[in-house]
Amino acid sequence: MTETHQPNPVVTFYGAVPGIRAPIRADASGLGTLPSRGFQYCEALRTASSFGWYVFPPIDFTLQWDGSQIIWTYRGAKGWYPLTSAQFPGFQAVFDRAAPKRLRGFAPPFLSAIPEPGIIQLWTGLFVASAENWSILIRPPANLPRNLAYEPYEGIVESDRWFGPLFTNIRLIKTDVPIVFSTEMPLLQVQPLHRSTYAEEVTNRFGMVPALADFPPHAWERYETNIVKPREIGAYATEVRRRRRSGCPVHAG
Amino acid sequence: MSKKQSQIVRKPSKKIADARRVRYGGGSMPRVLRSADKLTQDSRTIRFGGGSMPASLRK
């Protein structure tokens, strides 16, 4: 495999909560949950699934929402507690021991209920930074079956300019049932985004060919090549993988 | 009211009587709710995204 020289990783995670599960590369098979035909032949599915890194909850915990109030408990807790804002268990003391004196008492909260009904903010126990001009998209894991009891919001952070806790906002959906978050299952997928990919100049405009009659000859030729002519099963996947092996498109040259 | 209509409403039948031992929704709430947990106590000094809150809600 040809490897392109890349001096620094594009994204760096900083572990703050002791002993938490480190992020892992997102998996092309969706942790084995994808249909095997899709995993074997559908490169689009594989690429989207494996783009970025899985991030896990820092502890097993459970929420329950009655439509107004949220209560919560965690592994090792003595019971259920109303959720307003909570530190990761025992983290405040850990933070204060490690942080510079002027920052003691400023540990980020683990879970917070915000004024909007059923919405919480959850800190992953990680901090994050990225290389210059790289942002991160924080989103639910791609192509992994989702828990129907909650939905993480998506957000793009300019983590090259903003260093801080990697947190997310979550909308609780189901009421009056325990909603379990496990350290065994990814909670989020963090994906690197070069800032140019979502610049206003890019997203404010797109091309549109309004009708078949307007298709230029090269469009018909490409349709013929890709769709009409007999091709081996998985030809697209083979070509994409071959190109990928030839090097990183961003750092090449 | 006709005689036929008055027969629709009946007294509760023993066949469908319920002791209310099982309840949906609120019934799944934990019976004991504690008020304080020293291990997770948060002073609310740090808030995420606080800058996006209406000024009237900021402290």
**Domain limits, chain A:** 11-202
- Does the structure show a pLDDT above 70 at A164? yes
Cβ–Cβ contact B23 with A under 8 A: no
Pairing mode, if any, of strands A134-139 and A188-194?
A: antiparallel
Q: What are phi and psi of A245, to 5 degrees?
A: -65, -20
Which residue, A175, A169, A137, is CA-closest to A152? Answer: A169
Is it the case that residue A93 has pLDDT exceeding 90?
yes
Question: What does the mean pLDDT of chain A come to?
Answer: 92
pTM equals 0.83
**Which band of pLDDT confidence, cut at 50, 70 and 90, is reported for residue B27?**
low
Residue A176 has pLDDT above 90, yes or no: yes
Give phi and psi for A156, each to the nearest 5: -110, 125
pLDDT of amino acid A130: 97
Identify the weakest region by mean pLDDT among A24-33, A76-85, B49-58. Answer: B49-58
pLDDT in tens, A97-109: 999 999 999 999 9
- Is the pLDDT at A56 greater than 80? The verdict is yes
Please, which residues have CB within 8 angstroms of residue A85's CB and are 6 or more apart in sequence?
A109, A111, A112, A113, B42, B44, B47
- For chain A, give the percent of residues with pLDDT over 70: 95
Lowest mean pLDDT among A115-129, A184-198, A211-225, B23-37: B23-37
Tell me what the mean pLDDT of segment A165-194 comes to: 96
Q: Is the pLDDT of residue A60 over 90?
A: yes
pLDDT at residue A2, rounded to an integer:
46
Question: B23: nearest CA in chain A?
Answer: A176
pLDDT band (50, 70, 90) for residue B57: low
How high is the pLDDT of residue B48? 84
The residue ranking higher by pLDDT, B5 or A111, is A111
- A170 pLDDT band, cuts 50/70/90, is very high
Nearest C-alpha of chain B: how many angstroms from A234?
A: 45
Write out the two tokens for A146. Answer: 């989702």
Return the higher-pLDDT residue of B18 and A21. Answer: A21
Cβ distance A78 to B40 less than 8 Å, yes or no, reads: no
Chain B environment of A120 (Cβ under 8 Å) = none
Task: Report the C-alpha gap between A136 and A138 in whole angstroms.
Answer: 6
| Interface contact B37-A81, CB threshold 8 A | yes
Closest residue in chain B to residue A72, using alpha carbons only: B33
What pLDDT does B49 receive? 78
Gap between the Cα atoms of B50 and A46, Å rounded: 37
The size of the A-B interface in CB pairs under 8 A is 84
The architecture in CATH of the region A11-202 reads Distorted Sandwich (2.70)
CA distance A197 to chain B (A): 24
Residue A15 has pLDDT above 70, yes or no: yes
In this prediction, residue A126 carries a pLDDT of 98
| pLDDT of residue A213 exceeding 90 | yes
Of B26, B33, B49, the CB nearest to A80: B33
Which whole number is the average pLDDT over A233-245? 82
CB contact under 8 A, B29 and A78: no
B26 interfacial to chain A (CB closer than 8 Å): yes
Residue A209: the pLDDT is 97
A47 — pLDDT class (breaks 50, 70, 90)? very high
